[in-house]
A and B are shown apart, each in its own frame.
Chain A
Amino acid sequence: MAALANLADHYNYIITIFLMVAGLYVVIAHGNMIKKLVGLSIFQTSVYLLYIGPAKIIGGTAPIIDAAFGVYSNPLPHVLILTAIVVGVATLALGLALVVRINEAYGTIEEDEIFERDIAE
Chain B
Amino acid sequence: MISIVNAALLTLLATVTVAIVRQRSLFGVVILAGAYSFLMASLLIALDAVDVAMTEASVGAGISTVVLLATLHLTRTREAPVRRHNLVALLLSVVVGGALVLGTLALPPFGAADAVIHHHVAPHYLANSVRETGVANVVTSVLADYRGYDTLGETTVIFTAGIGVMLLLRSFRGRRRARDDEDGAQ
Identify the closest chain A residue to B11 (Cβ).
A15
Contact assessment for A110 and B80 in the assembled complex, using a CB-CB cutoff below 8 Å? yes
Question: Once bound together, how far apart are the Cα atoms of A103 and B169, in whole Å?
Answer: 12
Q: How many residues of A contact B (CB 8 A)?
A: 84
Judged by DSSP, the binding face of B is: helix
Asked whether A56 and B1 contact (CB < 8 A) given A31-B82, A86-B158, the answer is no
Contact among B30, B52, B137, B154 for A38, CB-based, below 8 A: B30
Contact assessment for B104 and A17 in the assembled complex, using a CB-CB cutoff below 8 Å? yes
**B161 to chain A: which residues have CB within 8 Å?**
87, 90-91, 93-94
Q: How many residues of B contact A (CB 8 A)?
A: 94
How close is A113's CB to chain B, nearest CB, in angstroms? 8
Contact assessment for B48 and A61 in the assembled complex, using a CB-CB cutoff below 8 Å? yes
Contact assessment for A90 and B52 in the assembled complex, using a CB-CB cutoff below 8 Å? no
Identify the closest chain A residue to B72 (Cβ).
A34
**B130 to chain A: which residues have CB within 8 Å?**
65
How close is A55's CB to chain B, nearest CB, in angstroms? 7
Residues of A19-70 contacting chain B, CB below 8 A: 19-26, 28-32, 34-35, 38-39, 41-42, 45, 48-49, 52-66
B176 is an interface residue with CB less than 8 A from chain A: no
Identify the closest chain B residue to A58 (Cβ).
B111
Contact assessment for A96 and B97 in the assembled complex, using a CB-CB cutoff below 8 Å? no
Judged by DSSP, the binding face of A is: helix
**A15 to chain B: which residues have CB within 8 Å?**
10-11, 13-14
Question: Once bound together, how far apart are the Cα atoms of A99 and B50, in whole Å?
Answer: 33
Contact assessment for B80 and A56 in the assembled complex, using a CB-CB cutoff below 8 Å? no
How close is A117's CB to chain B, nearest CB, in angstroms? 14
Contact assessment for A29 and B90 in the assembled complex, using a CB-CB cutoff below 8 Å? yes
Question: Once bound together, how far apart are the Cα atoms of A53 and B111, in whole Å?
Answer: 8
B185 is an interface residue with CB less than 8 A from chain A: no
Contact assessment for B158 and A90 in the assembled complex, using a CB-CB cutoff below 8 Å? yes
Asked whether A75 and B122 contact (CB < 8 A) given A9-B2, A12-B10, A90-B158, the answer is yes
**B7 to chain A: which residues have CB within 8 Å?**
11
Asked whether A9 and B52 contact (CB < 8 A) given A25-B21, A73-B47, A100-B71, the answer is no
